[in-house]
Homo-oligomer: A and B are copies of this chain.
């Protein structure tokens, strides 16, 4: 909508790939060097871009600070955190908290497993949306037309032989998840990792977040992990209760 801003913002993902010099930035934007220079300068003044000593540009420090502040404003996270820690203390496995936002599901909190074998994931990183248990819960709660629209648009990478193969299968899975009120991912992302997940609901009953417990086969089998389901659901419900009981109303988000 705004050409100048559009160009400036396009620089950020570009620099996320790694440092680049003025010429490279100008080329990839398809603009004159002088134009790129001015854009970079503006980004620089706002601290979003940093100029290292070899003159190349990199993403800057304020970006961290902004992202951190944004995190803190997510009040589900704040409320949920102690519950997640307690759950981790009682079962020992990795616990995740995730939200849905504009066709993406992302982890907003994580408590690491206390076992030496840990699964790889990172706060802020988009989740494998077609297979993750938390993603299923979050998508299952969307209004039907939107759910369908999203499902059609997605890619269905075959991470493993048990990954969701296509939109049809995914929508059927979502329907099932919607009815039972919990979800699993049994080796759909990483062959040897299983997850159980439960939804966190706001006062109006809509799913605002989802949490999961994940563990690799070498630590517990899928069946053993499933025995944790009641505990996971209780934890999720406790968070839901606390979240929706708040005086301050922040919409259904």
Residues of A at the B interface (CB closer than 8 Å) are 1-2, 4-6, 8-10, 12-13, 15-19, 38-39, 41-43, 45-48, 50, 52-54, 56, 58-71, 73, 101-102, 104, 106, 108, 122-126, 250-253
Contacts and interface: CB of A to CB of B under 8 A. Distances in A.
B13 A54 contact: no
A64 B67 contact: yes
Contacts of A43: 5, 9
Contacts of A48: 9
A253 B52 contact: yes
Stoichiometry, as copies per complex, reads: 2
A63 B72 CA distance: 13
Given A16-B69, A73-B58, A64 B124 contact: yes
B59 A253 contact: no
Contacts of A58: 70, 73
A124 B41 CA distance: 22
Contacts of A16: 65-66, 69-70, 73
B42 A1 contact: yes
A181 to B, nearest CB: 22
23 contacts: A2-B4, A4-B4, A5-B43, A6-B45, A12-B46, A16-B66, A16-B69, A17-B69, A19-B73, A19-B250, A50-B102, A52-B250, A54-B253, A58-B70, A59-B67, A59-B73, A61-B101, A61-B106, A63-B70, A64-B70, A64-B124, A65-B125, A68-B124
Contacts of A71: 64
A125 B50 contact: no
A248 to B, nearest CB: 11
Contacts of A47: 102
Contacts of A67: 59, 63-64, 66-68, 124
